[in-house]
Structure formats: structure tokens, C-alpha cells
Chain A
């Protein structure tokens, strides 16, 4: 079974996790300040990466926390997982090459 490393609990079976969409999609502090096209982009436009993708996961049947992960969408390999608020660890991607 695919193991995903929860930043709190360590490596755990995929069954315990839920996927929660692309990571680092920033919501405007005040939506009234942005144009319709910027708001549309925030709501609907996603990068749909072929390769290493930053995405949100939740350890739903575990510690219940959301966290971020870098996953290669072509191999399903998890390059790194990191806590919400931490920046994207691209060094891990380079090290994995």
C-alpha cells in the first residue's frame, strides 16, 4: 500500500488520507478588492502540473490535520510532505533527481 508521511504522525497508509486540491492557492484578503478575472482565477484556475505538484492533503482518519505535499503526478511518488505555513521545499525535489 502507498505510504504517505504525515508531518505529525509519520508514514501511514494512504487509506487514512483525503486529497484536498492544489496547495498555495492564496485567497484575497478582501475579495471586493480583486477583479472578476482575478477572482475567477482564484476559484477555478489550477496549474494541472505534469510532474511535481504541490497539493493539500488531510490525515482524516489520523490526526485530522491538513498538510501540504509535493507529489509527482506521473509516478504518484511523494517527494516531500510539510506543514501548513511552511514554504514549498524545492530542495527536496532537486535532491530526489
Chain B
């Protein structure tokens, strides 16, 4: 009988320490959606939201989130068990226009970083101005953290969601832990 390989979290081999403000999240359904930057995108019932058109802004519904990454480019997040249904529904809704929808659930991992020093911690590796006035709640962007490219999304005044490619997960984790110890 064939054996099934268990999917390991990218931090499975890393000795992690408990950090109340830094949480590596479990599996998530993710898609990269590309549309023509000039065409008006339809409201997406499958996600329960309209795609954000303003640069660097995210839209959220009960079950999904859409993050503007560039003109005509969005990162869609949803629960892992919903991913197949969401994909089928999106393909049906977008039929008739030029689009690209690629599932990237396993390409990256999510982190949540919170606490009064979350922005300061990020600024150890990320040169963006993270003051609430210039990086408000609901803003998201691709950027860098030290040598890793990340997607940074501010979900609360002291709450960030970070997406990073799988092979950078231990690197990002360990750096954020070190910086956390230095800023606490």
C-alpha cells in the first residue's frame, strides 16, 4: 500500500521558542490573481468582496482577504479547506476576460506579529515608514525584511500579517526572534 507523505511546516526542523507576539500560522489557501490593469474587475462573490483598486490596500470579508500587490495583481487568502471551492468559483466568475489565477498555497507561510513594539521590530529589517499615519491599518505591500522579500499587511494598529516564501521561513523567524529579544 502506498504511503502518504505528511506535509511539514517549514519551521518543523527549527528549534522555536515561545514568543507571545510572533505566531507562525498553519496552512492557508492562497492564490495569485492577475487581471488587466486597465479593466474594471467584477465583484467576486466567491470571496465576498470587491478587489481593492487603490494601491497598497487590502480588502477583507468574513472568509477571505484580497491584497493589492501591483496594478492588476492581487494576493488572495482564504481558509485551506475552502481553497478548491474558491478556485472553481473564481474561474467561473472571471470567465470571459483575460485573467491568470495560480494557486500558491504551499509557496509561502504566514506570520502574525503583534504587540506595542511590532513596528519597531519590523523596522529592524524593513526600511518602510511604519508610523500609523503613513502605513495605516489595511495597508499592505510587498517589501523586504533584511534579505527576504515579504508581503506586509497591517491588520491592526499593533498587528501585522507577514507572508514569506517557504525557504525564507526559518531565516525570518530567527531574525524576528533575535530582534524581539533586543527590543523588549
Contacts and interface: CB of A to CB of B under 8 A. Distances in A.
Interface stretch (A11-19, A33-41, A43-51): A11-19
B71 A63 contact: yes
Interface residues of B, number: 13
A10 B55 CA distance: 9
B73 A64 contact: yes
A13 B142 contact: no
B70 A65 contact: yes
Contact of B55 (A9, A16, A64): A9
Interface string B70-84: 110100000000000
Contacts of A63: 55-56, 69-71, 73, 141-142
Nearest to B149: A61
B127 interface: yes
B143 A62 contact: yes
Interface in A56-73: 61-65
Contacts of A13: 127-128
A1 interface: yes
Contacts of B144: 15-16, 61
Interface in B127-153: 127-128, 141-144, 149
Contacts of B142: 61-64
A8 interface: yes
Interface residues of A, number: 13
B131 to A, nearest CB: 13
A66 to B, nearest CB: 11
Contacts of B69: 63-64
Interface in B41-76: 55-56, 69-71, 73
A61 B149 CA distance: 7
B71 A16 contact: no
Contacts of B149: 61
Contacts of B73: 63-64
A10 B56 CA distance: 10
Nearest to B37: A65
Contacts of B143: 12, 16, 61-62
A76 B129 CA distance: 21
B175 to A, nearest CB: 16
A17 to B, nearest CB: 11
A9 B141 contact: yes
The 8 residue pairs across chains A and B that have the minimum distance between CB atoms: A63-B70, A13-B127, A64-B70, A61-B144, A8-B55, A61-B149, A1-B127, A9-B55
Interface of B: 55-56, 69-71, 73, 127-128, 141-144, 149
